[in-house]
Structure formats: structure tokens, C-alpha cells
Amino acid sequence: MIPILILAAGGSSRMRGADKLLEPVCGVPLLRVQAERALATGHPVFIALPRADHPRAAALDGLDVTILSVPQAAEGMSGTMRGAIAQLPDAPAFMMLLADLVAIDTADMQTVMAACKDHPENLIWRGATTTGRPGHPIIFDASLRPAFQGLQGDTGGDPIVRPLADHTCLVPLPENRARLDLDTPEDWQVWRAR
């Protein structure tokens, strides 16, 4: 089994007071939608939040997910990754997904998981756009877990991913799903008008 880690500890700073992870998608908070899509893969799902009693936790009520309290989230994306990955169970690999990528669905996660199985010579398996731009979700081989403990600042996993380009399997997903994040009220407005 590959644990799925959904990173949901960011501050939604560009939403001008709103929380993008609680924005409704077909009447359901985005974070819950993402958690349900991940659960539908049949793999265990972990949600990184700044603290266990964060308001976002209520959107996950009744779901069979594990909430990870990650106070390091205050440091930025690298802190979130460092704190959350340290709490994941031992497994041959783990999947990481940004919670605000609204278009990624269960089939996309399964497609990247299939690539991990079919191309075991790699260390990273990563969703990409149809034009080859890397995005999410990303599966990391377990051998890379220690590298996350050295992450600092708000660079995310780039210091780990960039040097391993030759050991990365890019997996094209439909349209721009791998990179479509909605960071501002205007982004949401445009997306809903489609």
C-alpha cells in the first residue's frame, strides 16, 4: 500500500480572508472532495494540517483519514513536508498531493501509482500536463524520506526533486490537471465560469 499525503496546512494567504480548501466544489468543501478522491484509491490517506483542531478538520468529519498535526507548517511548504513525512508509516513509497489542485481525481492518482509499479527503476513518479510540464501528484521512493528532514524555507520539495530529473518518470494526465491550482478569489471565479 502507498500512503497518500494531502498537504493542507498552508495559509490561503492570497484568498483575502477566505479559505480556498473550504471553497465548495459541487457543494462540498474542496479538502473533503480531495480526501474522498484519495480514499477511493483504496490506499491509506493522511492529511497534514497546522493542528488537529484546525477549522479544516471539520470538513473531514466521518472520513477514514488520519489527520497529521504539523506545527512546522508555519515555516512554509518545506516545514509542512518535513513534519508530515516524518509521521507517515513505513512503506515502499508514498504519494504527495497538494490539496488545492482541484482537478486531480481518483483516476489520476491511480495512473501515477500504475506508473510507479510499471517503471520501478525510477525514484520519483510525477503527474504532468499533456505538454510535459511536471506537477502533481508525486510518488517518492521510500529511500528519499531522509532527504525531507533537511528541507528548510518555502522551497517545497524542489531541492530533492530537481537533482533527480533523470530518475523521474513523468506521467501525462489530461489537460492541465497536474498543475491547476486555484489560489485567489479570481481563480475560483474563472474556474466556476467554465
Which pairs count as long-range contacts for 119-126, CB under 8 Å and 24+ apart, including other chains? 119/169, 121/167, 122/167, 122/168, 122/169, 123/164, 123/167, 123/168, 124/161, 124/164, 124/167, 124/168, 124/169, 125/168, 125/169, 125/171, 126/161, 126/168, 126/169, 126/170, 126/171, 126/178
Q: What percent of the chain has pLDDT over 90?
A: 60
- Residue 113 is predicted with a pLDDT of 97
Determine if the pTM surpasses 0.85.
Answer: yes
Q: How far is CA 26 from CA 23, 33, 87, 118, 191, in A?
A: 10, 9, 32, 34, 12
Residue 130 has pLDDT above 80, yes or no: yes
Residue 95 sits in a domain whose CATH number is 3.90.550.10
Structural domain of 106: 4-192
- Residue 23 is predicted with a pLDDT of 84
- Residue 170 is predicted with a pLDDT of 96
Domains in the chain, number? 1
| pLDDT digit string, tens, across residues 62-91 | 999 999 998 888 788 888 899 999 999 999
Span 143-156, mean pLDDT? 86
Residue 12 has pLDDT above 80, yes or no: no
14 pLDDT band, cuts 50/70/90, is: low
13 pLDDT band, cuts 50/70/90, is: low
| pLDDT digit string, tens, across residues 88-103 | 999 999 999 998 898 9
